[in-house]
Amino acid sequence: MSEITNTPEPPYFAVIFSSCRTEVDDGYDEMAARMVELASQQPGFLGIESAREGVGITVSYWESLQAISNWKKNAEHREAQRLGHRQWYSSFRVRIARVEREYGMG
Amino acid sequence: MSEITNTPEPPYFAVIFSSCRTEVDDGYDEMAARMVELASQQPGFLGIESAREGVGITVSYWESLQAISNWKKNAEHREAQRLGHRQWYSSFRVRIARVEREYGMG
């Protein structure tokens, strides 16, 4: 599913979401897929990368802090956050960062 | 192996390393483990989170841009970078970001 995002010239913003899951499934995969779909439709969305191997790391990229703030307040996203806190995640960390520099290959 | 890093109050810095692997193994796992060990010994290192699921995402956290620059220039790390470009990665992206805000649970 996940590929490396072709982001524009910095600066832009990243939300680094690191999480550990509980053993509760109960719709988790559907929610996760729906959140990727929904995020992709938001203004200012640039892309998303995600992997889980013990810890889960999802990095979404955004044009502005305002775009991130709007996404955080999205009603369907808020409901997913609520269920995440309550049942899907044993711990998580959200970090909002300004990407200053980027380089790579391929 | 990987857990969520207990980072200090922002601001601090993150290196988001996203990669796709070739099918060449040839010491990759050993190199990856050694780079985590070596990074952990560098001045200004705060922690590292890593997962691969198709795409690989490794986020390392640092006190300063200078600490990141020093780590990039580390001789053993440079050799790993060289082999990474040549044989282990089909594509990668390195993003240097300033973490402005953090919150979480657990």
Low-confidence residues in chain A, pLDDT < 50: 1
Nearest CA distance, A10 vs chain B (angstrom):
9
The answer to whether the Cβ–Cβ distance between A59 and B16 falls below 8 Å is: yes
pLDDT band, residue B106 (cuts 50/70/90): confident
Residue A90 inside a domain? The answer is yes
Residue B76 inside a domain? The answer is yes
Nearest CA distance, A67 vs chain B (angstrom):
15
Neighbours of A9 (CB within 10 A): 8
Task: Dig out the tokens for B84 from the structure.
Answer: 């990474």
Residue of A nearest to B13 (CA): A97
Please report the beta strands in chain A, taking only residues with DSSP state E, as ranges in sequence order: 12-21, 45-53, 55-62, 89-105
Show the DSSP H helices in chain B as ranges.
28-40, 65-73, 75-83
User: What is the sign, positive or negative, of the torsion defined by CA atoms of A4, A11, B85, B65?
Assistant: negative
Spatial distance between the Cα atoms of A32 and A46, rounded to a whole number of angstroms = 18
Residue B1 scores a pLDDT above 90: no
Please name the residues in contact with A64: beta carbons below 8 A apart, sequence gap of 6 or more: A13, A44
Summarize pLDDT for B62-72 with one digit per residue, the tens. 999 999 999 99
- A54 contacts in chain B (CB < 8 Å): 1-3, 51
- pLDDT at residue B64, rounded to an integer: 98
Q: What is the CATH number of the domain that holds B29?
A: 3.30.70.100
Task: Dig out the tokens for A96 from the structure.
Answer: 């909002």
Summarize pLDDT for A86-96 with one digit per residue, the tens. 999 999 999 99
Q: What count of Cα atoms within 13 Å lies in the side-chain half-sphere of residue B14?
A: 34
Show the DSSP H helices in chain A as ranges.
28-40, 65-73, 75-83
Picking from A18, A49, A93, the nearest residue to B55 by CB comes out as A49
Which range of residues forms the domain containing residue B80?
Answer: 12-99
Spatial distance between the Cα atoms of B49 and A55, rounded to a whole number of angstroms = 8
Nearest CA distance, B41 vs chain A (angstrom):
22
**Whole-structure pTM value:** 0.97
Residue B2 inside a domain? The answer is no
The answer to whether the Cβ–Cβ distance between A95 and B55 falls below 8 Å is: no
Residue B36 inside a domain? The answer is yes
Residue A52 inside a domain? The answer is yes
Residue A95 inside a domain? The answer is yes
The answer to whether the Cβ–Cβ distance between A51 and B51 falls below 8 Å is: yes
Is the ipTM value over 0.85, yes or no?
yes
Spatial distance between the Cα atoms of A76 and A79, rounded to a whole number of angstroms = 5
- Tally of domains within chain B: 1
What phi, psi does A33 have (nearest 5°)?
-65, -40
Summarize pLDDT for A16-31 with one digit per residue, the tens. 999 999 999 999 999 9
Phi-psi region of B54 (alpha: psi -120 to 50; beta: other; left: phi over 0): left
Spatial distance between the Cα atoms of A5 and B3, rounded to a whole number of angstroms = 24
Mean pLDDT of B42-59: 97
The answer to whether the Cβ–Cβ distance between B51 and A52 falls below 8 Å is: yes
